[in-house]
Structure formats: C-alpha cells, structure tokens
Amino acid sequence: MQRRDFLASPLWAASAGILASPGLYVLGNEGTKPAQFRLWACGDSHVGTDLRHQRESLADAIRQTEQGGDEGGPPFEWDVALHVGDLSGNQSSPDDNEGREVIRQFAAAKQHRREDFYNLAGNHDASGPGEPAQWWFRKWVDPTGENSEHSGVHADRRPYPVSGTWERYSFRVGNLLFLVMSDRNDGGPPVGRGKRGGYPAGAVTSETFQWWKQAVAENPDAVIVSAHHQMLKETTVASGPWEGFRKTDSGKYVSHYHGYFPAGGPRGASYLYWLDDRPDAEAFEKFLAANPNAIDIWFGGHTHTNPDDRKGGRTHIERKWNVNFINCAALSRFHARKTTLPMSRLLTFTDGSDRVRVQCYLHTSQHAPQGWYAKAERTIRISGPFQMMPQKPT
C-alpha cells in the first residue's frame, strides 16, 4: 500500500491531533531563494571523553566545516546541522561542567548561530536514577529554547521554527518535515542507565511513538525525515541483536562497539530496543514493514565505526521498507575507541529533484586523508521532488 493511500484511510482520519502543526517555511536569511538545501548530519561528539585527550570533538568539527582542517580537509557550506545525540561522554550522568563545555564548543561556530544546530538526546546525555528527567539535556542543549540563559538557544532565532517539546519536536524546510525524537535512557535500569555506564539499548515512550505515527498520517505529501539517536533494528551496520559486542572463545559477550551491561537490555544495545518497558518492541519496524515508504529518511548514530565496516552485512547507508537509513556517527575519536573514528555526512537536497547527494567527511586522517571520502558517497532517492517553497494547494 502506498503512503498516500494508507494515510487516507479511516484509521488515520479518526486520530486525535497529537502533533502541533509546524509553522510555514521560513527563510533563515533575506535574499534570493537558494537552489539547494545542505544538511550537515552528525552526532556522538562525546565532548567530555575527547576533552580528556586534549581534543575538542565538537568545536574541531565545526571549525573544519567553516575553515577547513589542519590535515588538509576542505571547508564546506551547510545550512543547518542535525546532531543525533551523545554530546556528553560521561559514564555517569552528565554534569554542569560538561554542559558549560558543550556550550563553549558550540561557540566555535563563526558563520552559524547556535540555533542552526538541531539536537536530540542520546543515551549518554541521559539523567541517572533519582534525578529529574533529562535535566542536563533540557538545561544545556534545550532544542525548544526554554532555558536560553544556559543553552544559548532562542526559539525566535531558529531559521526553521520548531514545534513540540524537548523530547519530540518537528520543523519544516520547504516540503521536508523533520520528526526529531530523543532517546529516553533515563530513570534507571533496565530501560534507563544505571549509576555508571551508558546502557546503550535505545528507548522511546509510547507517547512519542503515537506522536510520530500521527505526524506521518497528517503529512502524506511531505518528504519525511525522522531522527533518533539509535538506528532501527537490522537496518545499518552492526544494528542487529547482540551485534554491539564481541563474543569470546568461551562464549561470553564483551564490549566492542558498545559497553556490555547485562542489566540494560544488551541484546538491543545497537538499536532502538525499548518502547516504554517492552523490550525488542519493534514498534517502528512493524509500522514501516506494513507501510513501505511511510517516511523517506531515518537518521541515527550511536554505533561508531569506520565508513567501510559491514558488520551484519550492512553499511552505514541502507534502504529498507523503501526508507533510507543513515548512520551519521561519530564526531568523537576516543569514545568507544576500539572502533571509533571521527566522520559526518553532508546531504544536499536540490530544488525540484528527488535525488539527494550524501557525502562522507572524515574529520581526521586515521582511515583515509582528512576530508571527503568518495568511496562512501551515495545518492539516495526520496518519495518526491524536494521543494524549497512547497506548492500551494490548487
């Protein structure tokens, strides 16, 4: 069943309004409408981890995009950045010191404003047991601009206004509809993190899942871009059951891509595993399997590895259920250092085209020379032509 036919069904017509209608497309700058929209997709900065090794993971990447890298990587232009979580590198819950450091590193941007960065929470950004829910992310990252005095985010300065909450929000760029969802790895095991450790299995609430379904239902003509910290099950590299670890000769699992925490749903350490307290729920997967092409792109991160890794027979960019899945991790060099190297993606949407160029940028020369890595470049197809200004109904 095609997206438009499915979403016109009575099942969806009867649903209540969960998603507040995002605002109309708003140009970030006056002047001629650009022919292209450039999205810098990145994540997993783990600022505190790299700082302990005298490396500014977030600031370095920002400076490289604007000025070029000190190993020969060229600068590149981008309009907005989508950071898919794990700004923190803390193995316990993040603290104010790391929050202030994150803000300091965002300030490395000289050609972009803080509001040009759209963020969601990853598992390392989560509050710990007994703490106010996601207090650190809400205070220091703050996608909706509710704590401007700490985060520096002012909602009225967004180039594309957001609608929603810190946990789930949307914004529009032309006929692109972004649905951004934070990980809920807070509140204690087994769903949330313990007092120490990232507890990597991904989680969302049923309220967020219902919000996402409603947004998809109400926007059949939009090109829908979803984002969460984790990838969906068996979509991209090392996103299958138990694929976050290495198995020893004695049959024991040990940390590899992710830390091994027996109390934290280790089977699903590499993907979105929990819906409320239901393990291996596959809520999004079942929906997309039943409704191919319901969305166009799913962004995530979480698993850090080189661009040529094919663990599980999958790469960083795959197509399943007529959806493009893109793992855009990681900016860190030292967090999960067995597999990590710093890289990100640049997506170029061209007005009037249903093809999107996806480039891979290496932020160090660990794997190949710093800069564009042509071997990992892809062209993906979306469900309809991108339109900088959506057409008015006839």
The reported pLDDT for the residue numbered 109 is: 98
Residue 390 pLDDT class (50, 70, 90 cuts): low
Domain boundaries, the chain: 3-18+33-381
pLDDT: which is higher, 43 or 8: 43
SS3 per-residue string spanning 92-155: CCCCHHHHHHHHHHHCCCCCCCHHHEEECCCHHHCCCCCCCCCHHHHHHHCCCCCCHHHHCCCH
Tokens 């703050």 sit on residue: 142
Q: Do the Cβ atoms of 263 and 279 come closer than 8 Å?
A: no
Residue 347 pLDDT class (50, 70, 90 cuts): very high
Ranges 84-88, 192-196, 344-348: which has the least confidence: 192-196
Report the side by side order of strands in the sheet with 168-173: 163-164, 168-173, 176-181, 223-227, 297-300, 323-327, 317-320
Query: Cβ neighbours of residue 279 under 8 Å, at least 6 residues apart?
Result: 190, 201, 265, 267, 268, 273
Cα 103 to Cα 88, 94, 217, 316, distances in angstroms: 12, 14, 36, 29
pLDDT: which is higher, 69 or 196: 69
Ranges 23-27, 42-46, 139-143, 354-358: which has the least confidence: 23-27
Cis amide leading into 190 (omega within 30): yes
Taking the C-alpha atoms of residue 322 and residue 152, their distance in angstroms, rounded to an integer, is 38
Taking the C-alpha atoms of residue 184 and residue 269, their distance in angstroms, rounded to an integer, is 14
pLDDT: which is higher, 370 or 187: 370
Taking the C-alpha atoms of residue 263 and residue 195, their distance in angstroms, rounded to an integer, is 12
> Percentage of the chain with pLDDT > 90?
78
pLDDT: which is higher, 337 or 86: 86
Cα 98 to Cα 49, 112, 196, 266, distances in angstroms: 10, 22, 16, 27
CATH code given to domain 3-18+33-381: 3.60.21.10
> Percentage of the chain with pLDDT > 70?
90
pLDDT: which is higher, 40 or 14: 40
Nearest to 330 by CA among 100, 84, 91: 84
pLDDT: which is higher, 251 or 366: 366
pLDDT in tens, 128-174: 989 999 999 999 999 999 999 999 999 999 999 999 999 999 999 99
Q: Do the Cβ atoms of 47 and 89 come closer than 8 Å?
A: yes
Q: What is the mean pLDDT of the chain?
A: 91
Residue 300 pLDDT class (50, 70, 90 cuts): very high
The reported pLDDT for the residue numbered 334 is: 96
